């Protein structure tokens, strides 16, 4: 295909198919994690390889990379069984065969044209509760996946267009919130139905061969543009490492290490120095590790179209013994924490080769917090949510305050939605001063969340990170603040012994839990930040006067204006 106008039109139309699938699920899901936070994704995938062809722009990018492995699993399953038919839809959540964790249910629908598969439509969404030991499924002390929830291999939810209600009954029976599960499942089914209609209309309008050629050309151009970008980078080997606090079982840090090799027009991402598989649930499957690298690469090379062509010039070295390449039944429930650290080390390695392309590290944890109990009428409730923090400073400016994790384009569920749905009250929801890493471009601020229980009692579970290892800056920027979690007891406030993970917290009515989330790392030396911008940060409450002097070498007078003489002396003394 050579007509650039037609290619651009088809690219937009194909993306619109995926975007409408996203919107359909977001508007119909029962679960706030999908409906409000948009923890879901849709896309179109290659008929024979499962490679990503098109992704929706509103869902989670991490799913786009992982779902190609999930679709491939369905292709292999259908090939083994030999009974693939028009109208079939597969459902599964196997985290080792398609990535992520048990909460993420995938639906894959082969799309037929004239008796053969043209491509696959896929939907993935984070369901509210899928069984396991902990409501909401983020079990920080799991040592096997059996303790994290039900595991469903690829099975046919629809056979030739007929729903298998036995599968639905099994799924509902294994959830604490079967109505929520049923609503989310139907939302995903309807999203696939809409996608199939829209794609059929597009093919009828332009022709199967024309659209197929456009998909191939978009992938070819993505690979070509990636190679061109890589060719401009300085060649060499760049090393970076960062750490997880612990695995929730053994209070020992876990290394995530990357050797980035840039050769001509290709990259090698070698994770051989990373820690081996661990007892606790911060392991991830190889497909998940590759998907997280895809997200990091797309942050760095923003002009490359988002499809499988991005990964063509990249070789991954991930030992089978690594915590980044586990199989069943290793626990993987906290995959989000590990993939965020993978993204961080990719940023840190690239910052040595091309600092003009890279951000400081973001806050680095979703802080999966679950409160669960029973209402006065005996009805069970489960509040599961994730929380925001600061993004890293970048070459063009300061990091975003109170954003969501860089694995996603999701949003943080609004407190009004959470308060309306669950017996809790937010007594604080605010930015956290000084939490952003100092830099020429300051890291964005984390947040303070304080939640009071309104019911008689509740159990609380936390699965977080960055309680001991702060998000680093890049290009000379400073680190952000670490994560702090506090919960009230009859004997006073307490912190988790493992800093960021804990089960067995019991709240009484009126008692509170409090999250103080990290900011993002800074970009560039803090003493290069303009004093007037530091004064503005102090005026806005982003930075305290003490931090302005300590980190930036800026002294303010009683009215908040820059004391230019004192500032010049402080900065000169440090430079000397």
Q: With bands split at pLDDT 50, 70 and 90, how would you rate the model's confidence at 252?
A: very high
* Beta pairing partners, 91: 107, 155
461, with CB counted inside 10 A (0-12, 13-18, 19+), is buried
Per-domain boundaries in the chain? 4-222, 359-529, 531-575
pLDDT at 576 > cutoff 60: no
Q: What are the pLDDT digits (tens) for 279-308?
A: 999 999 999 999 999 999 999 998 888 889
487: three-class secondary structure by DSSP: strand
CA-angle at 166, arms to 160 and 170, nearest 5°: 130
By C-alpha distance, which of 388, 404, 392 is closest to 443?
Answer: 392
Which pLDDT score is estimated for 460?
98
Q: What are the pLDDT digits (tens) for 324-361?
A: 999 999 999 999 999 999 999 999 999 999 999 999 99
pLDDT at 259 > cutoff 90: yes
Tokens 């609004």 correspond to what residue?
A: 414
Neighbouring residues of 470: CB distance < 8 A, sequence distance ≥ 6: 437, 479, 480, 481, 482, 518, 521
pLDDT at 161 > cutoff 70: yes
Which pLDDT score is estimated for 409?
66
Tokens of 266: 């290709």
Q: With bands split at pLDDT 50, 70 and 90, how would you rate the model's confidence at 412?
A: confident
Alpha helices by DSSP H, listed for 354-423, are 415-421
Q: For residues 346 and 344, give the distance between their C-alpha atoms in angstroms, rounded to a whole number.
A: 5
pLDDT at 61 > cutoff 80: no
Q: For residues 36 and 414, give the distance between their C-alpha atoms in angstroms, rounded to a whole number.
A: 8
130: three-class secondary structure by DSSP: coil
Q: What would the mean pLDDT of 491-519 be, rounded to a whole number?
A: 97
Q: What are the pLDDT digits (tens) for 540-562?
A: 999 999 999 999 999 999 999 99
The strand order across the sheet containing 116-126 reads 52-55, 40-46, 116-126, 104-113, 89-92, 155-159, 162-163
Q: What is the value of pTM for the model shown?
A: 0.95
pLDDT > 90 fraction of the chain, expressed in percent and rounded: 91
Which pLDDT score is estimated for 410?
67
Which pLDDT score is estimated for 420?
95
Pairing of strands 266-270, 314-317: parallel
Which pLDDT score is estimated for 2?
67
Q: What are the pLDDT digits (tens) for 27-42?
A: 999 999 999 888 999 9
Q: What would the mean pLDDT of 406-429 be, rounded to a whole number?
A: 89
The answer to whether 519 touches 525, Cβ cutoff 8 Å, is no
The answer to whether 508 touches 454, Cβ cutoff 8 Å, is no
Which pLDDT score is estimated for 107?
98
Mean pLDDT estimate for the chain? 95
The answer to whether 72 touches 50, Cβ cutoff 8 Å, is yes
Which pLDDT score is estimated for 29?
96
Which pLDDT score is estimated for 575?
67
Q: What would the mean pLDDT of 239-261 be, rounded to a whole number?
A: 98
Which pLDDT score is estimated for 407?
78
Which pLDDT score is estimated for 121?
98
* Beta pairing partners, 382: 372
pLDDT at 408 > cutoff 80: no
Q: For residues 151 and 368, give the distance between their C-alpha atoms in angstroms, rounded to a whole number.
A: 20
Which pLDDT score is estimated for 574?
74
Range of lowest pLDDT (134-138, 319-323, 485-489) = 134-138
Which pLDDT score is estimated for 63?
82
Neighbouring residues of 352: CB distance < 8 A, sequence distance ≥ 6: 238, 240
264, with CB counted inside 10 A (0-12, 13-18, 19+), is exposed
């Amino acid at each position: 295909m050579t007509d650039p106008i037609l290619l651009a039109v088809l690219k937009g139309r194909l993306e619109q198919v995926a975007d409408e699938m996203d919107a359909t699920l977001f508007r119909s899901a029962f679960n706030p994690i999908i409906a409000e936070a948009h923890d879901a994704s849709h896309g179109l995938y290659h008929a024979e390889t499962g490679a990503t062809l098109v992704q929706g722009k509103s869902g989670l990018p991490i799913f786009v990379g992982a779902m190609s492995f999930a679709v491939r699993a369905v292709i292999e399953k259908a090939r083994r069984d030999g009974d693939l038919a028009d109208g079939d839809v597969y459902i599964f959540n196997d985290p080792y065969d398609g990535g992520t964790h048990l909460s993420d249910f995938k639906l894959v629908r082969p799309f037929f044209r004239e008796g053969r598969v043209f491509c696959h439509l896929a939907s993935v969404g984070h369901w509210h509760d899928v069984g396991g030991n902990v409501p909401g499924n983020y079990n920080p002390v799991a040592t096997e996946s059996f303790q994290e929830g039900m595991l469903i291999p690829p099975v046919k939810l629809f056979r030739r267009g007929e729903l298998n209600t036995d599968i639905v009954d099994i799924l509902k029976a294994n959830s604490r919130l079967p109505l929520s599960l049923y609503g989310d499942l139907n939302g995903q089914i309807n999203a696939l139905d809409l996608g199939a209609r829209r794609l059929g209309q597009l093919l009828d309008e332009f022709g199967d061969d024309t659209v197929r050629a456009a998909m191939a050309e978009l992938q070819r151009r993505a690979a070509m543009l990636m190679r061109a970008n890589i060719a401009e980078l300085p060649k060499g080997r760049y090393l970076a490492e960062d750490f997880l606090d612990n695995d929730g079982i053994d209070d020992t840090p876990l290394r995530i290490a990357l050797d980035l090799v840039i050769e001509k027009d290709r990259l090698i991402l070698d994770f051989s120095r990373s820690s081996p598989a661990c007892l606790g649930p911060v392991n991830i499957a190889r497909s998940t590790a590759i998907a997280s690298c895809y997200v990091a690469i797309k942050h760095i090379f923003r002009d490359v179209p988002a499809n499988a062509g991005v990964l063509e010039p990249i070789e991954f070295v991930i030992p089978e013994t690594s915590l980044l390449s586990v199989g069943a039944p290793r626990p993987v429930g906290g995959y989000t924490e590990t993939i965020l650290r993978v993204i961080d080390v990719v940023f840190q390695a690239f910052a040595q080769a091309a600092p003009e392309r890279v951000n400081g590290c973001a806050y680095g944890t979703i802080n999966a917090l679950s409160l669960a109990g029973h209402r006065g009428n005996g009805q069970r409730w489960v509040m599961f949510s994730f929380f925001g923090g600061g993004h890293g400073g970048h070459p063009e400016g300061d990091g975003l305050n109170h954003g969501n994790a860089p694995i996603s384009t999701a949003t943080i569920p609004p407190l009004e939605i959470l308060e309306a749905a669950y017996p809790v009250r937010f007594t604080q929801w605010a930015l956290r001063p000084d939490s952003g890493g100092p830099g020429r471009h300051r890291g964005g601020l984390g947040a303070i969340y304080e939640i009071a229980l309104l019911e008689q009692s509740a159990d609380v579970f936390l699965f977080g990170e960055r309680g001991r290892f702060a998000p680093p800056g890049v290009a000379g920027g400073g680190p952000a603040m670490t994560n702090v979690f506090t919960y009230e007891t009859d004997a006073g406030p307490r912190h988790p012994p493992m800093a960021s993970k804990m089960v067995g917290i019991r709240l009484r009515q009126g008692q509170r839990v409090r999250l103080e989330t990290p900011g993002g790392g800074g970009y560039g030396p803090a003493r290069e930040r303009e004093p007037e911008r530091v004064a503005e940060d102090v005026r806005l409450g982003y930075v305290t006067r003490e931090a302005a002097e300590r980190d930036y070498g800026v002294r303010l007078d009683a009215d908040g204006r820059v004391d230019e003489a004192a500032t010049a002396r402080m900065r000169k003394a440090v430079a000397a």
